[in-house]
């Protein structure tokens, strides 16, 4: 399984997260750095997610819920529901990420560090998340220490 690292334009695109717990919270933490066009669909949504102020739909998932969305994250703790979301999204032509299941996902999320207009994204092709996070944190530490010293010699240039 190979994933192509790309940046997808999402201005004014609606993104759906099915699930209202820790899995959704983890993914939303990255996505919200880039957009507020997030909807959370779940019968139960954690207080921490509610506090973020995104649109909420309190109900069980149904195929029709996908209409109008550009990307979907299946973040439930039920593999069968996540699998159904994936299959329904494919029918609608919508890209889907099934959290913690790269085999069912059209895309995966890299470990991100965003500062101003710059983003560093590290991916292991979904094979070693811990190492991707370690690399991201190492790069983040280098960039932040360079910023503090006003030194940009270690910054990789395009």
Domain boundaries, given as residue ranges, for the chain: 15-104, 111-149
Task: Give the residue from 156, 129, 141 showing the smallest Cα distance to 30.
Answer: 129
Number of residues written out for the chain: 158
Task: Give tens-digit pLDDT for 37-79.
Answer: 999 999 999 999 999 999 999 999 999 999 999 999 999 999 9
In this structure, are residues 66 and 90 in contact, taking their beta carbons and an 8 Å threshold? no
Q: Is the pLDDT of residue 13 over 90?
A: yes
- pLDDT confidence bin for 157, thresholds 50/70/90: very low
- Residue 155, pLDDT score: 44
- pLDDT for 76-116, tens place per residue? 999 999 999 999 999 999 999 999 899 999 999 899 999 89
Which tokens sit at 139?
A: 């790069």
Conformational region of residue 87, where left means phi above 0, alpha means psi within -120 to 50, and beta covers everything else:
alpha
Tell me: pLDDT of 158 over 90. no
The predicted model gives 12-28 an average pLDDT of 97
What Rg, from alpha-carbon coordinates, does the chain have?
Answer: 17
Specify the CATH number of the domain 15-104. 3.40.50.720
Q: Among positive and negative, which fits the CA dihedral 53, 29, 10, 144?
A: positive
Q: Token pair for residue 27?
A: 């993914």
Q: Rounded to whole angstroms, how far apart are CA atoms 32 and 26?
A: 11
Nearest to 18 by CA among 42, 38, 52: 42
Q: Is the pLDDT of residue 152 over 70?
A: no
Q: Are 80 and 56 in contact (CB under 8 A)?
A: no
């Amino acid at each position: 399984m190979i994933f192509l690292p790309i940046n997808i334009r999402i201005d004014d695109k609606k993104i759906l997260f099915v699930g209202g717990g820790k899995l959704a919270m983890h993914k939303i933490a990255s996505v919200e750095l880039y957009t507020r066009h997030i909807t959370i669909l779940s019968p139960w949504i954690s207080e921490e997610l509610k506090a973020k102020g995104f649109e909420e739909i309190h109900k069980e998932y149904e195929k029709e819920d996908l209409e109008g969305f550009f990307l979907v994250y299946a973040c439930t703790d039920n593999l069968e529901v996540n699998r159904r979301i994936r299959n329904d999204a494919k029918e609608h032509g919508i890209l889907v990420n099934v959290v913690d299941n790269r085999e069912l996902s059209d895309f995966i999320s890299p470990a991100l560090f965003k500062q101003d207009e710059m983003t560093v994204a590290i991916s292991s092709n979904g094979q070693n998340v811990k190492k991707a996070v370690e690399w991201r944190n190492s790069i983040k530490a280098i960039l932040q220490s360079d910023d503090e010293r006003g030194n940009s010699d270690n910054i990789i240039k395009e």
